[in-house]
Structure 1
Amino acid sequence: MKTQSRINRNRHCDTYVMLSGATHLTSYSSVHQESSFISAHIGDKVTLQCFYDGDDSAWIFWYKQSLGHKPKLISSFYIYGTKRKLYNEFNNPRFQISTKNYTHSLTILDLHISDSATYYCAVNYAKVLTFAEGTVVRVIGSGSNIQLLVNQPEYESIQPGGSVTLNCTVQPGSCDGEHSVYWFKDSEESQPGLIYKHGTKNQCTTNPYIQTPSCVYNLAMKNLNASHVGTYYCAVATCGHITFGNGTTLHFSGGSYFNSNVSMYFCVGSLFGSLITLLIVLLIVIIKKKTERIHYQATGKVKINCHLFCSYLKVFLIHKTVPFQN
């Protein structure tokens, strides 16, 4: 049975490349992708959606980027045209592109393990290639000889300022080639992103308690705060395949982070309130003294040189003035 989970969110995108060869960074908010992370099983299909609401005569591209490799061009489409083109190994019935209104979709049929990658939608207008946020596709199944285990519970409780170590145990199976291990994070606050890469298997730490050949990779994090909350995935690239772990979700236990924030805000609020009270008291004292000086000036006993402060004082005291009686 087909299972597919999506984490939907809208974000702005950034421009990374100019076709002219120069490198620029700009912001282009009219193109984005619907999902940031999709999980599906071998043999299922996924549909990736790209939204572009510009009225310009632009080109729409789809790219695939496997971990540790350069992006590959999948397809191209001209907005005011009808011709869609698929390139190289993507020019087969498993890959389909379609357009409806402002939505440009890429559908992948009969998913393979090798389809695990990040897929980017891009818009080319005025020689500027603008990328959307990207969608990570994770293909789950037994089509690979790699057995990947993440030795962490599904949920891991953490404390503000504390530390945590995530473990990833890789059992290569019959694949003797070198492998690379990646950690990336998915959260509600930001799009999935690669946060760390280990080297080859020759640099791993072996596990003496497991009889089958395996390597253990650790991801240690210290001084934890709200930015660390999210799901961390371990991914292995080897023998032309990418295999993902199930992921470990980090969250603060018992609302400790919330309570610490409340305490901080309470202290700041109390300090601010005390400061306001002190200023009011000083203002009352100053007004009283200035009122007496104004009284002396009215009786002719003292001549006061009234500058800017007096102007403010008059405005402040205008509400205290008693109207003349007829």
Structure 2
Amino acid sequence: MVLVLLRLSVGRCTNDQLFETKTVHVGEEVELLCPRERESTQAFLYWFRLVSGRSPHFIGGTFSFNYDGVKQIPRITAKQGNGTFLLHIKETDLNDTGFYYCLKANRLNLTFLKGIILTVKGPEPKIITIIEEPIPGPVRPGDSVTLQCSVLSDSDSGTCPRAQGVHWFRPGSDGSQARLIFTEGGSGGECERRLEIQRPQKCVYNFSKTISSSDAGTYHCAVATCGQILFGNGTKLDIDVVSSCDSHRDNTVLFLLCVALATSLIVIISLVCVVINTSTHCCKATSCNEHSHEKRNEDTLVYSTVRTTGGNRRKAAVTEEAVYTNVGAFQLQ
């Protein structure tokens, strides 16, 4: 964005008067001046503020000729001065930090007149202590571990100080000098949110790492601010390394369990097949016996005949009786 603004000044010589830096403390007043020249044609002057990561913000505007109008927003006033177009900020706070620039628009021409970098400094917080949270239990290679460093400071603001730089150190495995493994700027901190501002203020910084077998040791968090470096109490990282014997034993147990499972499945399947075959044979045998019994009952016939003959009255009655029983008829195939 600054490069674009510099291109707007094409056609005029650049000099040190175009850019300026100002530094004030929180609560002070500051005045930013933009040169204003009277022209025969009507022109417009504008003040903008640019903050990193945001779009330019329009603050106020006026004419190139003398004009008594005043553009006023909370704590900021834009108005004409003697040959100037000034921007007055009272009771500055940290949010007023940014790049302020003044532009002149004359018909289709846009000219860059002034650029001011304003820095608002607040009271440096006093660090009370640094706390490093312990890691619960040993970890194994390949696990992801998050180291946490909490900075307690005597600060009235609700944000972590930008001046803080957090560094993570780890001693050498052979007791050699500690080495730096990670550096985090002040913007990476997360301020603990509370319902009301309390002291001390707690800012939390995290560092995540995938662990290998050689990462065991004590990690230290160091905070650099206000010309001093403070170290935490350290976080000890224990790694649960699996030995080759344990690994071989685990593999053997796993293999035996798999074999036992496969054997159980084979036995269960065999028993199911035997039960099914036995049931099938029993059903067939029962059906055949019932059919044969019915056939024999049908083929068994019993015949019984009674015959009576009459003679003279004088003669005694004679009764003939023929009995046929258990006669079977067989059909030749």
With the length of structure 1 as denominator, give the TM-score of the two structures: 0.38
Task: Work out which structure has the larger RCO, using CA pairs closer than 8 Å and 6 or more positions apart in sequence.
Answer: 1
TM superposition score normalised by structure 2: 0.37
